[in-house]
Amino acid sequence: MPTEPTLTDSQPAVSRAELEPASAPHPPAPARAPVPALTLAAAMLGSALITLDATVVNVALPAIGSSLGGGMSGLQWVVDAYTVALAALMLSTGAFSDRAGASRAYALGVAVFTLASAACGLAPGLATLIAARVVQGVAAAVVLPASLALVRQAYPDPGRRGRAVAAWAAGGSTALALGPVAGGALTTVWDWRGIFFVNLPLGAAALVLLLRAPRSERRPAPLDLPGQATAVIALTALTFAVIEDGTTSAAAWAVAVAAAALFVRIESRQPHPVVPPGLFRDRAVRVAVAAGAACSVAFYGTIFLFSLFLQQVQGRSALYAGLLFLPMTGVIPVTNVVAGKLAGRHGPRLPLLLGQALAVAGLAALFGVGPRTPAAVVALLLVPMALGVALSIPTLTAVMLDAVPAERAGLAAGVLNSARQVSGGLGIAVFGALVPGGFAAGMRASLSVAAALLTLTLWLSFRLAGRPATRA
């Protein structure tokens, strides 16, 4: 960004003015050169913030429930309000980032996210907290594609850009791994409100770093507002129907079905739909989305379940519970790298099938966990499922991107990520609905649901593996 004019030597301004002719114009001040590393740091910090908030809340849920009340359904909404808003709006925010310019969209998203975090920390009741979490999710949906666009803009050289994108992804994986630990530490040392207040200095730091990023150009990008609106209504109503009981649930199911049908109708007629119907004609795309969704149900649902189990059933502190998740989440960044190397050396078949099979075996191993299971054993039993998911996701992403033309790569990635976020939120909703009837039985039923979904997608992946993709 341009700055105030500065002198290039140590001579005072008044002396310079005296020596120069009165009619001579002053040369324009040189613009401060952008620093790609600072732009990358800003993008990584923003991406890490929104990833962190997807998992940091789970360990704090018992403390939030004790402070604000609301029961199991209220705690589910604290998580899902953020996840559903992020997932639903991610379909369009890439186009919004192009229209506004990545730097402007990123600044707006981070600023709103930071203010919403303050509102979460100051929330006097559960309804206010949930509303602020919705705003956080909306802002996060803007930040994610804009942060990646900033990285691409800062590194025009393909080789350097590849390394920068890898660093950006690693930042998100690290934040995901540290989420439960950070949530437990902040809740124990400070208060559950600390998990939101810590976003304030981090958000401010991201905006300061953004000052050295060049202003992004605006690009024409069509927005499918009717499709986006019906998608939001359908996903919100579906989540409400799963979480809530009674007559309101029946009405929510009706709204979800009607909105989904309208969404399909709108997308079939839109010249620029948020989800082109033809995208799913390719079998590889369908399998990748289904498997990604199953992995998210297993991963996010398990973190939700065992956050409650460790504290409410085994009586562990929030900090202790967070630390017990560290072996599980800590293997993810390394395993993501291993998955890429395996796919590069042996093709996608090995990590794709091995990952899902390992995740199913990990879920089965958790069936034996009970109130008397030692904490160290619980921590170790959580690892195989996480390993399997971490092996599967990068490979599934590659399979999906290989199945679509290059010009649809961004759209395909957005659809896959949106499906994963939606499924993670719905998994939490389903698991939370099963638990109140008895935690042990509800936990095993939830693990069975996740294992069944992964078994189905493992079979679909086995049939798909080795077959060439047919591009639409």
pLDDT, tens only, 216-253? 666 666 677 888 888 889 888 888 888 876 556 778 88
Sequence-distant (6+) residues with CB within 8 A of 17 are none
Asked whether the beta carbons of 383 and 289 are under 8 A apart, the reply is: no
Closest CA to 70 of 58, 78, 60, 80: 78
pLDDT of residue 312: 85
pLDDT of residue 9: 34
The segments of the chain whose pLDDT lies below 50 read 1-31, 467-472
pLDDT of residue 41: 86
Tell me the CA distances in angstroms from 115 to 87, 110, 330, one per residue in order: 20, 9, 30
Tell me the CA distances in angstroms from 188 to 20, 122, 185, 318, 319, one per residue in order: 65, 18, 5, 6, 6
Asked whether the beta carbons of 214 and 103 are under 8 A apart, the reply is: yes
Instruction: At 175, list the tokens.
Output: 């934040």
Q: Is the dihedral of CA 299, 301, 307, 312 positive or negative?
A: negative
Give the end-to-end CA distance of the chain in Å, rounded to a whole number. 42
- Continuous H helices in 211-325: 225-243, 247-269, 283-308, 318-324
pLDDT of residue 8: 33
Sequence-distant (6+) residues with CB within 8 A of 196 are 117, 118, 120, 121
Main-chain phi, psi angles of 88, to 5 degrees: -65, -45
Closest CA to 431 of 282, 237, 300: 300
Q: How far apart are CA 193 and CA 120, in angstroms?
A: 7
pLDDT of residue 27: 47
Closest CA to 150 of 68, 45, 228, 61: 45
pLDDT of residue 457: 93
- Continuous H helices in 270-382: 283-308, 318-324, 326-346, 349-365, 375-381
Query: Model pTM?
Result: 0.77
